[in-house]
Amino acid sequence: MDTDTAPTTASGTQTLMRGLQLIECVAEGIGDVRGIAQRLGTPRSTTHRMLGSLVQAGWLHHIPYRGYLLGPKLLWLGQQASEQRPLAALAHPHLALLAQQTGDTVHLGTVEADEVLYLDKVSGTKGLEMRSRIGQRMPLASTGVGKALMLGMDEDRWKPLHKQAQQARAPGKPALRPWRQWLAEMRRYREQGVVMDLEENEYGIRCVGAPVRDISGEVVAAISVASALPYMPDERMARMAPVVRTRAQALSRELGWSGA
């Protein structure tokens, strides 16, 4: 009986994975049948049938002359996922308060598969729109949130993550600081309990970040304040450091941390 059902199970799994990959394509902005078929390596006729099924089930929208967009079921699932992550729910009031205090954009992130995953974002009041978005992944070693997360790691993990961030540099992106300089800065940040992103991830953008700890004292998340260079000169970053650290500690206490 197992032998008889194995091909059906394998086929069903393949169909499911293709459907999920198709949804990911649409989420990335590939909204036409031809583009999706090329990405998935499937015939256009097969791709069109899959798209039709997903539209009918509510997972996708189809807008004539524009293409396919994420549908209402995914919006609902995204909301449910957000509500079921207590960290994001507990953190949001702290992020909102920090954004109000500073006027800058505030992020919350956590480690996922050796990258920083952005869980929340609260825009500031200066009219600047950061390219970051909830659900985005970025290299740990080149972002303010990421480096704050790395403060909770053993130092022997730092060098591979630094190398990984270097290799992930896209054309037009800033070069990462050389390893020895980066290491010296991280050691200093660890003593201070706060990190700086000095245009290491994006030209013209600076960040101040701090780790968030849980009841065990482990770093489980990080927050950062980000703004454009004219609003983030060195002296303001120095003033911002205790503000961000204090807010991260307040969130940590809500998670059960009792440190100083």
In whole numbers, what is the pLDDT of the chain averaged over residues?
Answer: 89
Distance CA 43, CA 38 (A): 8
Which residue spans of the chain are classified as CATH 1.10.10.10?
A: 2-76
Q: What is the pLDDT of residues 37-52, one digit of tens each?
A: 998 899 999 999 999 9
Query: Sign of torsion, CA 218 244 188 160?
Result: positive
**What's the pLDDT at 8?**
57
Fold of the domain spanning 85-254: Beta-Lactamase (3.30.450)
Are the CB atoms for 40 and 28 separated by under 8 Å?
A: no
CATH code of domain 2-76: 1.10.10.10
Which residue spans of the chain are classified as CATH 3.30.450.40?
A: 85-254
Are the CB atoms for 70 and 55 separated by under 8 Å?
A: no
- 257 torsion bin: left (phi>0), alpha (psi -120 to 50), beta (else): beta
Report for 64-73, 83-92, 163-172: range of highest mean pLDDT? 64-73
pLDDT band for position 1 (50/70/90)? Answer: very low
pLDDT band for position 80 (50/70/90)? Answer: confident
The torsion defined by the Cα of 186, 187, 193 and 194, in degrees rounded to 10, comes to -30
Q: What is the pLDDT of residues 102-156, one digit of tens each?
A: 999 999 999 998 899 999 999 888 777 777 888 889 999 999 999 999 999 999 9
- What's the predicted TM-score (pTM) here? 0.71
The torsion defined by the Cα of 256, 136, 131 and 176, in degrees rounded to 10, comes to 90
Average pLDDT, stretch 241-249?
A: 96
